Amino acid sequence: MSWVARKANIQGDVWPGLPKRFQTFLFFKIRKPDEFKTRLRSFVDEHITTAQEACDMKNQILAAKTKAKDSGVPAKILPLPGVNIAFASTGLAALGKFTFNEAAVKKDRNLSKIFKKNQLRGGLFGKGMYDDLVGEGWDEPKELRSQFKPSAGKRLIDGVLMVTASRAEDLRYKVLRVKEHFLKEPGSDDPDTVRYSNDPCLEFPFTSQGRTRPEKGKEHFGFEDGISQPLIEGLDEVAPKDKEPKAVKSGLIFARHDGDPMNQPEWAEDGSFLVIRDLQQLVPEFEKWLEDNKHNAPFAADSDDPKEKLAAYLMGRWRNGTPVDESPHHDKDPNLFRSNNFDFHPVDKHDKCPFAAHIRKMRPRGDLNHDHAVIIRRGISYGDEVTPEEKAAQKSSEEKERGLMFVCYQSDIRNGFNFLTTRWASNHHFPDRKANFVGEHGPGIDAIVGQRLNHHPERSIGLPDGKHPTEARIGLDRWVIPRGGEYFFTPSIKAMKEYLTGPPDYPPELAGP
């Protein structure tokens, strides 16, 4: 299939990403599968935003910005709403397209053939995030939002509809139209007189809202976000230069593409696994810790701004996006804002960027010489700005939660999100083979997203101090609280028009958990 055809088949948030200043996550539960399938078929043509359409949107935005710059006036915000949909394993099971009863299915010769042909591979997708990161991971159940926890042993989420827009009024209108499509009575097509069904095909147990901050492009800790996305061979036209990471095979993001080892069924082609994770951020506490510890970090105490230097050590970038590997002492060079042209060499030292800095944990570059755990990030902030009262108290208000709706895509959750979170971010000894340069306790934990169990070493990070091996180490507090989430699959346009809305593969008693 040509890339032109693929762009019309891929959902647009996977690539190139939906333009968004505002976003609503409509988490849904399927009640009447057959009716839902019928409505989904028409919904795809009427509402789903493809990759090609998302590209066209971004071109319109670029043209508007160019015209405004030439005219010397502010660029007009364009009304460009977008919609994508994804299904949890329970959602596919509700449609009869996934089974949790593998042993029983394999006893039937015909069903066994269907299973081998059509069952989506990937054990973590079947488990869902709760069983993965609570049952076998490091999430604390009491910290998770109730909607992300099973009730009476059953998961509450079958899928998610993601609606995006650049203006709040456009978002509200599009969300209303999306809900109407699935909730209205048959034949109630006039938007002015629409009647909602008392027995709809699905329900929306809860929604989540995201929006960009006033400092557009920055998350709540104040760091420039969305930098260093992987370039995809065949899709991204920009070629990596100098020390920038090489473009990756599309199979690390899309099912059944070159580089995807999962051997997914034919219907899954051009789809991608989606992870949504609610990360609450304790911003006043983070700022207090930086202030309290700014003189405890070697090389930071002599900086013009010790607090900002310490923050840059933890992230691996200054808050404006300047990499410390390229500019370890200041963030004043505008040519380095959002720069990606570095590789951490020499990798036997961390004089500039700590081995355990967040961006080095998540993308080790020269430490590994290649990308094999790759995700595309599409997250968005949520919640209000820090209030003057919170700043004065240096403590987050229980009524004013804020954070990041972390969103990412990959062709394999285990080798993508899960690997990055558990094997790299939360591992004190990754990057590997650094003991000779940083001591026996290893580089340390990712200060931003690293997690630990009670029997693990205390949270800490090794810092540059000019010695060999380095001896400086600083204890860390916890400023990001995982509040739960779910694993999904984002299918292609073709899959939703054909396979997923076709007859069920399994009877309900063999499909559901």
pLDDT at 369 over 90: no
Question: 476-492, pLDDT tens digit by residue?
Answer: 999 999 999 999 999 99
Give the span between the Cα atoms of 327 and 384, in whole angstroms: 32
Residue of 187 and 384 predicted with greater confidence: 384
> At residue 405, does pLDDT exceed 90?
yes
Instruction: Calculate mean pLDDT across residues 155-174.
Output: 97
d(CA 81, CA 22): 9
- Max distance between CA atoms of the chain, in angstroms, equals 75
**Mean of all residue pLDDT scores within the chain:** 95
**Residue that the structure tokens 């082609």 belong to:** 269
Q: Are strands 159-165 and 460-462 parallel, antiparallel or unpaired?
A: unpaired
The answer to whether 309 touches 297, Cβ cutoff 8 Å, is yes
Please report which confidence band the pLDDT of residue 375 belongs to, taking 50, 70 and 90 as the band edges: very high
What single letter denotes the amino acid at residue 61? I
Do 406 and 225 form a contact (C-beta atoms < 8 A)?
A: no
- Can you give the pLDDT at residue 397? 96
User: Is residue 445's pLDDT more than 80?
Assistant: yes
Taking residues 40-60, what's their average pLDDT?
A: 97
How high is the pLDDT of residue 186?
A: 83
Instruction: Compute CA 160 distance to the chain's CA centroid, rounded to the nearest angstrom.
Output: 14
| pLDDT score of 422 | 92
Cβ atoms of 435 and 442 within 8 Å: the answer is yes
Residue 435 has pLDDT above 90, yes or no: no
What is the amino acid identity at position 270? D
Which pLDDT score is estimated for 112? Answer: 97
Confidence class of residue 513 from pLDDT cuts 50, 70 and 90? confident
**Which has more confidence, 252 or 512?**
252
* The pLDDT of residue 188 is above 80: no
Q: Domain boundaries in the chain?
A: 22-229, 283-374+416-478
181 three-state secondary structure: helix
Q: What percent of the chain has pLDDT above 70? A: 100
The predicted structure's pLDDT at residue 83? 98
Query: Could you tell me the two tokens for 466?
Result: 């000019």
> With 80 as the cut, is the pLDDT of residue 76 above it?
yes
Which pLDDT value is given to residue 324?
Answer: 97
Could you tell me which of 495, 502, 416, 499 has the C-alpha nearest to residue 6?
495
Q: Identify the pLDDT of residue 1.
A: 77
d(CA 385, CA 387): 6
Name the nearest CA neighbour of 90 among 33, 136, 16, 143: 33
* Phi/psi of residue 482, nearest 5 degrees: -65, 125
Q: Please name every residue paired with 87 in a beta bridge, in sequence order, or none if there are none.
A: 159, 489
Report whether pLDDT(454) > 80.
Answer: no
CA 18/CA 365 separation, integer angstroms: 27
pLDDT band at 3 (very low <50, low <70, confident <90, very high): confident
Position 193 confidence tier, pLDDT thresholds 50, 70, 90: confident
Give the up-direction half-sphere exposure of residue 449: CA atoms within 13 A in the CB hemisphere: 22
pLDDT in tens, 96-132: 999 999 999 999 999 999 999 999 999 999 999 999 9
pLDDT score at 30: 98
Query: What pLDDT was estimated at residue 224?
Result: 97
State how far Cα 418 lies from the chain centre.
12
- Sign, CA dihedral 32-38-41-47, equals negative
- Is the distance from CB of 483 to CB of 280 less than 8 angstroms? yes
pLDDT computed for residue 95 by the predictor:
98
The model's pLDDT over 262-295, given as tens digits with 9 standing for 90+, comes to 999 999 999 999 999 999 999 999 999 999 999 9
119-147 burial, b at 16+ Cβ within 10 Å, e below that, comes to bbebebbbbbbbebbbeebebeeeebeeb
Mean pLDDT value across residues 151-156: 92
Whether 430 shows a pLDDT value over 80: the answer reads yes
Bridge partners of 82, per DSSP, are 164
Which residues share a beta bridge with 161?
Answer: 26, 85
